[in-house]
Amino acid sequence: MLRKIQSKKIQGRGGVFAIVASNYNARYVDAMLRAARRELTRAGARVQVVRVPGAYEIPVVAARLARLASEDSGLSAILCLGVILRGATTHAQHIGEAVSAALAQIQILHEVPVIHEVLLLENEQQARERCLDRKHNRGTEAAQTALEMARVMAGLK
């Protein structure tokens, strides 16, 4: 069942957040990007957006940003936004698994929150629900998670 995004009162303000967003399936990714930026801006954060061709290219940029963040660039978290739609072959599954594994490795290696919203979806209906519908927009959810993780990580210093 698709879970509605809960409106959260955001604790803590400010911070610097990077969003790495795919150009592929732009209609859906752009909607998530707008929602994430809106949520981060509402919290008083600064936002840097980096666009890449597709979901598979997201991890290399996230890794570079995470390395810079671990060198004390002031980056609070990295949000990764993409949409992969399944087709007739297993290509989408391979891309999704590779991206997921890489993003997990990046955040552990660099100790920087990497928010994974590279969605592997069955069809365009799921993409519309998760990206275009304000009640379920995963960009909003990604921003809320990033803000919470930034707060958690700052508390560990």
Report CA-CA distances (Å) from 20 to 16, 76, 110, 131, 154. Answer: 13, 14, 17, 16, 22
Residue 33 lies in a domain: yes
Residue 57 lies in a domain: yes
> What does the pLDDT look like over 73-119, one tens digit per residue?
789 999 999 999 999 999 999 999 999 999 999 999 999 999 999 99
> What does the pLDDT look like over 109-152, one tens digit per residue?
999 999 999 999 999 999 999 999 999 999 999 999 999 999 99
- Total structural domains within the chain: 1
Residue 31: give the domain boundaries.
16-155
The pLDDT value given to residue 71: 79
Residue 77 neighbours by CB under 8 Å, 6+ apart: 15, 17, 18, 112, 113, 114, 115, 146, 147, 149, 150, 153
Residue 89 lies in a domain: yes
3-state DSSP call for residue 48?
Answer: strand
Report CA-CA distances (Å) from 81 to 18, 64, 88, 155. Answer: 11, 16, 23, 26
The pLDDT value given to residue 75: 94
Q: Which of 91, 94, 110, 136 is catalytic?
A: 91
Residue 54 lies in a domain: yes
- Told to judge if 136 belongs to the known catalytic residues of this protein, a careful annotator would answer no
Identify which of 28, 20, 7 has the alpha carbon closest to the alpha carbon of residue 129: 28
Predicted TM-score (pTM) of the model is 0.92
Residue 7 lies in a domain: no
Residue 74 lies in a domain: yes
**Sorting pLDDT into bands at 50, 70 and 90, what band is 157?**
confident
Residue 1 lies in a domain: no
The pLDDT value given to residue 5: 66
Beta bridge pairs of residue 129: none
Residue 11 lies in a domain: no
Tally the residues of the chain: 157
Q: For the domain that residue 60 is a member of, what is the CATH number? A: 3.40.50.960
